[in-house]
Chain A
Amino acid sequence: MRRHGWSLLLGLSLGALTVWSLLDTGLSLPALLGAEGRRQMALFVQRLFPPDLSPALLRQVGQRALETLAVSFLGTLLAVGLAAGLLGGATRTLVQGAAFAEAVPRGKLRRLGQALAYGSARALLTLFRAVPELIWALLFILVVGLGPFAGVLALGVHTAGVLGRLFAEVLENVDRRPCEALQALGASRLQVFLYGMLPQALPELLSFALYRWEVNIRAAAILGFVGAGGLGQQLFVALNLFLHQQLLTLIAATLGLVILVDACSALLRRLLV
Chain B
Amino acid sequence: MSAPSLPFPSKRRPLSSLLAVLFLGAVVLSARVAEVRPQALLAPEALEHLWAFVRGMVPPAHSPAFLRSLLTPLRETVQMALLGTLLAAALGLPLAVLAASTVLFAGPLHEAARGGPLRWLARRLPYLLSRLLLNVLRAIPELVWALLFVRVLGLGPAPGVLALGISYGGMIGKVYADLLEGVDPGPLLALQSTGASRLQLVLYGWLPQALPNMLAYTLYRWECALRASALMGFVGAGGIGQHIELAMRMFAYDEVASLILVVFCLSAAVERLGDALRRRLL
A-side interface residues toward B, CB under 8 Å? 6, 10, 17-18, 20-22, 24-27, 32, 37, 40-41, 44, 66-67, 69-71, 73-74, 77, 126-127, 130-132, 134-135, 138-139, 142-145, 147-149, 151-153, 185-188, 191, 194-195, 199, 218-219, 221-222, 225-226, 229, 232, 235-236, 239, 247, 251, 254-255, 258-259, 262, 271-272
With A21-B82, A27-B158, A251-B144 as contacts: A134 and B234 at CB distance below 8 Å = yes
Q: Which residues of chain B come closer than 8 Å to A20, judged between CB atoms?
A: 79
Q: Is B46 an interface residue (CB 8 A)?
A: yes
A143/B46 in contact, CB under 8 A: yes
A271/B15 in contact, CB under 8 A: yes
Q: Is B183 an interface residue (CB 8 A)?
A: no
Q: Which residues of chain A come closer than 8 Å to B268, judged between CB atoms?
A: 126, 130
B141/A219 in contact, CB under 8 A: yes
With A186-B3, A254-B141 as contacts: A226 and B35 at CB distance below 8 Å = no
User: What 11 new A-B contacts, CB under 8 Å, besides A73-B26, A247-B148?
Assistant: A6-B280, A21-B79, A21-B83, A27-B83, A74-B30, A130-B267, A130-B268, A138-B248, A149-B40, A219-B141, A259-B135
Complex alpha-carbon distance, A41 and B156, angstroms: 17
Question: Using a Cβ cutoff of 8 Å, how many contacts connect chains A and B?
Answer: 170
**Distance of B238 from chain A, by nearest CB (Å):** 8
Complex alpha-carbon distance, A21 and B239, angstroms: 13
Q: Which size bracket describes the interface of B in this complex?
A: 35 or more
Complex alpha-carbon distance, A127 and B268, angstroms: 11
B82/A18 in contact, CB under 8 A: yes
Q: Which residues of chain A come closer than 8 Å to B190, judged between CB atoms?
A: none
A18/B86 in contact, CB under 8 A: yes
**CB 8 Å contact bits of B1-18 with A (1 = contact, 0 = none):** 111101001000001000
Q: Which residues of chain B come closer than 8 Å to A131, judged between CB atoms?
A: 260, 263-264
A27/B161 in contact, CB under 8 A: yes
B36/A74 in contact, CB under 8 A: yes
**Distance of A214 from chain B, by nearest CB (Å):** 10
Which residue of B has the minimal Cβ distance to A221? B141
Q: Which residues of chain B come closer than 8 Å to A191, judged between CB atoms?
A: 3-4, 6
**Distance of B268 from chain A, by nearest CB (Å):** 7
Complex alpha-carbon distance, A77 and B82, angstroms: 34
With A130-B263, A191-B3 as contacts: A144 and B30 at CB distance below 8 Å = no
B41/A32 in contact, CB under 8 A: no
B34/A151 in contact, CB under 8 A: yes
Grouping DSSP codes into helix (H, G, I), strand (E, B) and loop, the B interface class, with mixed when no group exceeds half, is: helix
B83/A22 in contact, CB under 8 A: yes
Q: Is B110 an interface residue (CB 8 A)?
A: no
User: Looking at the complex, which one of B50, B162, B238, B245 makes contact with A143 (CB distance below 8 Å)?
Assistant: B50
With A17-B82, A74-B30, A148-B34 as contacts: A221 and B244 at CB distance below 8 Å = no
Q: Is B65 an interface residue (CB 8 A)?
A: no
With A18-B86, A254-B144 as contacts: A132 and B227 at CB distance below 8 Å = yes
B143/A222 in contact, CB under 8 A: yes
Which residue of A has the minimal Cβ distance to B40? A144
With A130-B267, A191-B3, A191-B6 as contacts: A25 and B34 at CB distance below 8 Å = no
**CB 8 Å contact bits of B47-63 with A (1 = contact, 0 = none):** 00110010000000000
**Distance of A246 from chain B, by nearest CB (Å):** 13
A147/B35 in contact, CB under 8 A: yes
Q: Is B29 an interface residue (CB 8 A)?
A: yes
A138/B245 in contact, CB under 8 A: yes
Q: Is B114 an interface residue (CB 8 A)?
A: no
B263/A70 in contact, CB under 8 A: no
Q: Which residues of chain B come closer than 8 Å to A142, judged between CB atoms?
A: 49-50, 53
Q: Which residues of chain A come closer than 8 Å to B136, judged between CB atoms?
A: 255
B33/A40 in contact, CB under 8 A: no
**Distance of B186 from chain A, by nearest CB (Å):** 24
A254/B140 in contact, CB under 8 A: yes
User: Looking at the complex, which one of B30, B53, B245 makes contact with A70 (CB distance below 8 Å)?
Assistant: B30
A25/B83 in contact, CB under 8 A: yes
**CB 8 Å contact bits of B240-282 with A (1 = contact, 0 = none):** 0100110010000000000010011001100000000100100
Complex alpha-carbon distance, A70 and B15, angstroms: 23
Q: Which residues of chain A come closer than 8 Å to B1, judged between CB atoms?
A: 186
